[in-house]
Amino acid sequence: MTDVPPAIGAGDVTITLGDKELTLRPTFEACDTLSKSPGLQFWREQIFSEIRDGYTKVISAGLGMAGPSKDMLKLIYETGFISLKQPLILFLGNISNGGRPIGERVQCNHCGSWYFVETFDEGGRESSNPPTESS
């Protein structure tokens, strides 16, 4: 049982800054900008650590911009790092997966954090049937 993988570019992520909905696109150009030294893991750590420059660099790359505007800096502050953390981590994961969404999004019952899990069948192949609560 093999599902057709999602199309490259299917991993667009929408964020809201102020009253504007913006679409971050995990394009080759965004990947090229963010995966150069120091690499994607560096940007993940910047997001987890709530470092403003990480947020501005990742959002700018996803929008195809060279850098943030003054308005963007203020809107990031007003929106809040916590509100932007999950979609930016998702965006970086999609870049790591060639612009495609990565796995299933699940929420931790204990802390409420969101995680992405890949599901596999007994043979180790990716499965379209994620495990249930009882498995």
Q: Is the same domain home to 61 and 115?
A: no
Q: Is the same domain home to 75 and 112?
A: no
> 3-state class of 114 per DSSP?
strand
13-71 pLDDT tens trace: 999 999 999 999 999 999 999 999 899 999 999 999 999 999 999 999 999 999 898 89
Q: Is the same domain home to 58 and 88?
A: yes
Q: Is the same domain home to 64 and 97?
A: yes
> Could you tell me the residue range of the domain that residue 131 belongs to?
103-135
**How many structural domains is the chain composed of?**
2
Averaged pLDDT of the chain: 82
CB 91 within 8 A of CB 24: yes
Q: Is the same domain home to 97 and 107?
A: no
Q: Is the same domain home to 35 and 92?
A: yes
CB 30 within 8 A of CB 88: no
Structure letter (DSSP) for residue 130: -
> 3-state class of 4 per DSSP?
coil
The pLDDT assigned to 10 comes to 81
